[in-house]
Amino acid sequence: MMSIRLSACLLTILLTAVMQSALADQQLNSLKNISAAGAPLLTLKMMGQAQPDIDQDLYQWILWEQERYRILSEWKQWDELLIRIEGLPDDLPEQFKAQSTTYRIRAYLALGQNRTARQLLRQQLWQVQGADSREYQTWRKLIIETYLQDGRIDDARVALLRMQQDFPEHDKEWVLLRGRVLMQAGRYDEAIQVLSEQLNWKGLAMKLLAEYYDQQHSAQTLWNLAKKRVELLKDDVDQAAVYWSIAAIAAQKMSPVNAVIALEARLGIDTELDDVLYEVNADQLWQAYQQYARMVGNRSELLVGDDESWLELALKIRQETPIKSRSLLALLISESRSSEIRQQASSAYLQTLDLQNPAHQRLLYELFNNSKRFADVELVPLEIRFQLVDIALRRTDIDEASRLMSGLNSVPQNTRQFDWLLRRARVLILGGQIEQGDEVLSELIGSYREPTKDDTDRILQVLFDLQTIKADEQAIRHFRQLMNLAIESLQRREILFWMADSFKALKQHERAALLYLQSAMFIGPEAMDPWAQTARFNAAESLQKAGLVDDARRIYQALLDVTKEDARRSLLKHNIQQLWLTQQIN
C-alpha cells in the first residue's frame, strides 16, 4: 500500500512538472508572437515577470534566456544584451555559456568594437575544450568578420584559407563569407566562381556586383538589372535595400540624378545591412544632391551666390519634379549664407515629402541624424528638427528626441505655440522629467482656447504617456482640464473612460466604476453599443474589486442578456460564477 501511495505521489509530482513545463512553453510562444508583432520592449518586460526561476527549472530558464537574447539581437538592443550576458553566473552548462558568448561577440561586432570581439574569440578558440564546442566554426567565421570590419583583408584571407583547410564542407553562409572576402580583396573572378555555388538571392546579388567589378556588365546594365529586380519584389525590405545599394553603385558611373534616385530609395528603407559591400550613407546623398543641383543650375544659367533665383526655381518645379527640387533645396540648406534662405529651403524641402509615408520619414531621419554635416544638432534647421522629434517619438527613441529638443527654449518662427509646447511636454515626460513636462502640459491646456478634434487627440496621446509611466494623478488633473473646455461630445465620453482607467490604477475602484458607467451611458442610459459594453464590463470589474458584488453581478447579467458572441458569453458566465463563489465563501 505504501509503495502504491509513493508511486501515486511521484506520478502526481511528474504530472505537475509536465503541466508547468507545458504552461511555460505556451507562455514563451505567446511572448514570441508579441515581439514579432512589434512590441519587443513589452515582451522583455513580461519575460522578466514570467521567466521560470533559474534554481527551480534550469532547462526552462535557459529556453527563456535564449529567446531573450534572440529578441535583443533582432531589435539591436546591444547594450542591454551585453549587460545581461556579462551578469550571468559561472555555474551554467558549457553549451549555453558558449552560445551566450557568441551573442556577446556579435554584440561587440555590431557596436564596432572589433578588437574586443577578437579578444573574446581568441579566448574561446584557445580553450582546451574550444574545438569541441558546437560554436567553434561560428567563432572561426566571426574572426574573419572582425578582420573584414577592420579592413584587414589579407588577415581575413589567411583566416579564411586556414578554415577552408580545416573544414572543407561548409553551409550557404560560408559561401557568402568567402565571396565577401574575395570581393574586398579585389579577386572578382574567384568570387564569381565561389558564388556560383550559392543560388539564393544573397549569392546572386553579390555575384552580380562581382561581375560588374570584373567588367562583365556596364553601369547602365547593372542599373537596369538592379531596378528590374526591385520592381519584381513585394515586401522583402532586405532584398530591396541590397538592390538599391547596387543601383547606387552603378549610378556612380552614370548621371547624378540616378544617384539621387537610388540613394533616396535606399535610405528610405528601414533596414540595416551588415555587409560593407552595400554600404550607403546620408553624406553620399548630400553629395549627389549637390552634384545634381549644380548641373541643373548650370543648365538654367543660374549664378552661384544668387540664392533667391535658385530658391525660385526649386519652388517652381516642386510639384512637377520633386527630386530635382529637393536637390536644389538641399544645396541651399547646406550652403546658403542666408539664414532666411536656409529656413525657406528647409520648409520647402519638407513640403516635397509625404511625412505620413514611413519611407520619407526614414529618409529625413537619415539625412539629418546620420550625416557628418549635421553632427552638431544646432546646425539642423529648426523646422526640420521638429519633424525629427516627432519621428524619434514614433520610433520610441527618447534619447534622440531629447537631443533634438535640447537648447530650444522659445517658439520658433512659423511654428504654432501649441505644436511647440506639445512636443516639449512629450519629450520631457518620456525622458523622465515628469515634473517639468507636467508644467508645460498645464501651460498648454491652460492656453488651449479653440479646441479641435485633432489637437485634442494629440493632447490625449500625451496623457496616455502619463498613464503609461504611472503618473495617473497628473493625468486625471489634465483630463479634468480638458473636460472644462468646449471639446467634442464623443471625446468627453472617451475622457470619462480614460479617467476611470487612472482611478483604477490608483485602486480607487468605486470612483473608477462610476466614471466607467458615466462613459457607458453618455449617449443614453440604455446604451449598449460596443463602447458602452466595454465600459460596463470594466465598471463591473471595478465594482467587484470594491466589494460591491451584487452591483457587479447585475451589470454582468445585463451584458449577458445582450451578448451573442459565444466567447464573450462564456467570459461573462465565468465572472458571474466567480462572484457567486466569492459570496458563498465569505
What DSSP assignment string belongs to 85-104? HHT--S-S-HHHHHHHHHHH
For residue 368, what are the CA distances in angstroms to 363, 364, 384, 386, 391?
9, 6, 8, 12, 12
Give the DSSP H/E element, type plus range, for residue 325: helix 322-335
CA atoms 401, 406, 411, 415: torsion sign: negative
pLDDT at 90: 87
- Rounded to 5, what percent of the chain is helix, strand, coil? 75, 0, 25
Closest CA to 431 of 488, 479, 469: 469
Read off the amino acid at residue 120.
Answer: L
CA-to-CA distance for 447 and 458, rounded, in angstroms?
15
In terms of Cβ atoms closer than 10 Å to its own Cβ (0-12, 13-18, 19+), residue 431 is middle
pLDDT at 574: 79
In terms of Cβ atoms closer than 10 Å to its own Cβ (0-12, 13-18, 19+), residue 455 is middle
For cell 544659367, name the residue: 301
> Is 296 within 8 Å of 256 (Cβ atoms)?
no
Enter the DSSP assignment of 200.
S
pLDDT 10s per residue in the chain (586 long)? 444 443 444 433 333 444 444 445 566 676 766 666 656 776 787 788 888 888 888 888 999 899 999 989 988 889 999 999 999 998 899 899 999 999 999 999 999 999 999 999 999 888 756 677 788 889 999 999 999 999 899 999 999 889 888 887 667 888 888 999 999 999 999 999 999 887 789 999 999 999 999 999 999 999 999 999 999 887 789 999 999 999 999 999 999 999 999 999 999 998 888 788 999 999 999 999 999 999 999 999 989 889 999 999 999 999 999 999 999 999 999 999 999 999 999 999 999 999 889 999 999 999 999 999 998 888 898 889 888 988 888 877 778 888 888 877 767 666 788 888 888 888 888 888 889 889 989 989 988 888 899 999 999 999 998 998 889 999 999 999 999 999 998 999 999 999 999 999 999 999 999 999 999 988 888 888 889 888 989 998 898 888 888 888 888 888 888 888 777 788 778 777 777 766 555 5
b/e for 374-387, b at 16 or more Cβ within 10 A? beebeebbbbbbbb
pLDDT at 117: 94
End-to-end CA distance of the chain: 39
- Residue 161's φ and ψ, nearest 5 degrees, are -65, -40
Angle of the 237-251 helix axis to the 256-267 helix axis, nearest 10:
160
> Is 533 within 8 Å of 511 (Cβ atoms)?
no
pLDDT at 37: 60
User: Residue 168 half-sphere exposure, CB side, CA atoms within 13 Å?
Assistant: 0
pLDDT at 285: 97
* CA–CA–CA angle 442, 447, 449 (5° rounding): 130
